[in-house]
Structure 1
Amino acid sequence: MSEQHVEPRSGTLSLIIATLLTGIAAGIGGMLLALLLHAIQHLAFGYSPDAIISQESFLEGVSAANASRRFYVLVSCGLIAGIGWYLLYRFGKPLVSIANAVKNPQKPMPFFSTLVHALLQIITVALGSPLGREVAPREVGAIGAGWLSQRFRLTPAETRVMVACGAGAGLAAVYNVPLGGAVFTLEVLLGAFSWELLIPAVCTSSIAALVAWAGLGNESQYHLPELNITSGLVIWSVICGPLFGIAANAFTRVMTQARKQAKRNWQMPVFCLLNFAILGLLSAWFPQLLGNGKGPAQITFDNQTTLYLAAALLVLKLLVIWGSLRSGAEGGLLTPGLSNGALLACILGGVWDSFWPGTSIGAFAIVGAAAFLASSMKMPITAVVLILEFTRVNHDFLIPILFAVTGSIATSALINKKWAV
């Protein structure tokens, strides 16, 4: 009888300690990156100068700054983005994505290059880049987990899990979403659910979020007025779910192509400067365009936007996100996708409300944000959990959210299947 192959494992104690330290490291890293982001925002746009974490939001601070200040800050953002990433690609070690590091743990992410890459994302988003900031804490959490895995001599299989957990814990720390970080680890990075994976994922994300409370507090990302579920909202979520799938699928394809076409040579500083200078000019009329999209999402949730403003912001947001990626700037698409979904929901909800009145714009926006995010990031379960933790909305909203997410994901899957054929 042939011997059954048994994969080697490190000691249980080493694995437990590595798991605990991964959560702590990701929490500290995410907290420091978030504090750096806020400090740069306050300094650049001149609001709440006496506090890093304040009651004044980024959108309020940007709106209070004069148009010329916004323009000069965005020009600075373009210079930092273009020169910074050009030098990194020119002289730094080749970057390894989190997904590739999880697939092949024997090819780790380069520490210095990845750290610089993360810092550039935080700095440029703080200065007004329309891309997301969520990749940076995930990268820092992942490189910390990889370093700890080496120190504790974990096996490649264990290292793979730790790197994924570190990335998810970084997300949990910066957004205060412990369950969302764990589900992201399982659904997106590992693509599996089991006790062996669930325990370290939940443990690291919970520890990271708790550690980050020390500097960021126990706050939700968005604050909502009282929103109520209506029969009109439920029916709208069923009908419009597929529309969000179509829109999110197109958004992902266009932005992926823009990222692939970005120049990595001497042209990058020129294109970045031009792109962010144009964004700076647009911000004179639309300060909501600056930042990762949290501001536009918040005003939709607060019922503080009109159909026409939502339409204008949606079109311009898509253009400036595309331009930023095409010019070579880096960043995530999680919050931008959530914001685009909320804006699109305002438009579709506004039209629906003219025929079936009684539902607030904020309620439409919550459902639309989840549906768009689910398809644009290909993570239906994570999207639902993140929306619940981001907003702490009434759990009754799970019904329309799940209807919309189901329609969105199913439609996006059919489109992808057709393209594959």
Structure 2
Amino acid sequence: MAGHLLFVVLMYSFSENKAQVLLPPTLTVNPLVITDSDSVTLNCQTPSSVSASHCYFRFVRGGPAKSFSCLKTLSGTELLLLTHQTLPAEVKVTCFYLDGYQSQESIMSSIIIQNPQPKLTVNPLVITETDSVTLKCQTPSFVSVSQCLFYTVKEQNTRVASCLKTLTGTELLNMAHQSSPAVVEVTCYYTAEHRGGQYQSPQSNISSITIQTLPPPTLTVNPPMIRETDSVTLNCQTPSSVSVFHCYFITVKGQTLNVLSCLTTLTGAELLHTTHQSSPAEVKLTCYYRVKVFSATSPHSDISSITINNAVKIESSTMQSMPSSTKATDPVKEESHTTQTVLTFALTTDETSWIIGAAVTVGVPLLGLALLFIQIWIEKCVSTRPKANVTDDREYMADFDETYSIVTYQCNFERQQLHQP
């Protein structure tokens, strides 16, 4: 009896020693995170001295070990069925092999099975800063989603929103810390409750949104040539698709006109005052507009020029440009283009009173003789041509384009040269 017991003890010791000689396999899992529709590869690598065709995988919560080939591929759904779990889940697994005896088990590995990733759709893919784009983060119907989050790839900035969100191009640029023109790459994910906590889904596909700059306005000026007293109409024509807040007119030298309307009228004098110029001058302008959303600013329009002349030059050019045929055939207009000289004579108060008083004293019949006498002295004054005071007051007549020069001669009449008859 004692001998029999000794035999049993020896056999058990031999088995234990043999089992300790069988080294554990190495388990590798790839990938470690999957969805239910993805697949994972389990590789139970046995020692090189062992030739095993089958391996045994033990899944926690999965009951007894499952016999598979040592290189086995399973889907997320199959893993969930083996472990009797639902999404999202963590599956822990080990493996071992048999070589007459059972080897030691490998180190445990964990496989994360996530909910399906959402699908991101973007419409439209090309916008301007003021246009809008619709982002839709499509989630699985069987998942109770708490919220969706949109994520810019470049700056890794996240915005919490509903799973259907509309953003302007400017909002996307601010979110991505970019300026137009730009390409903003966006992805999304969602959160859902799981075992009393929030579970984050995988990220969706990446969508690229092209954001173009605002189209420039078109500047028209009418007329392009004015006088200081004339007016010019400035029209900053903006795209019909843009909601414009204000328009701004600036000179090429950087001076800003205090105008907020896209269609405005200014005088030549106002333009000269703003640009600190005097006529004749050329004022070069451009314009831009600002939209209501985040005060986005458009590019500048093309440059337009306004020529501002003074009144004299414009009238002179008008006279010179008149056809010669008109001057020859129209005696009235021909006369209107000659320079008229009007002579006026200034008599002192004493001299005038003396001459007229003398004529009245002698009698009314001789008044005509006195006036004739005055005329003789005037002709004499003209022939001697004393020093003249000339005032070049050029007046523009309403009916004719003629120019008058008023010349005033000062003639001194000596009282002793006038004798009564």
TM more than 0.5: no
TM-score (norm 2): 0.18
Higher relative contact order (CA 8 A, sep 6+): 1
Q: Normalized per residue, which structure has more strand?
A: 2
- In terms of Rg, which structure is larger? 2
Q: Normalized per residue, which structure has more helix?
A: 1
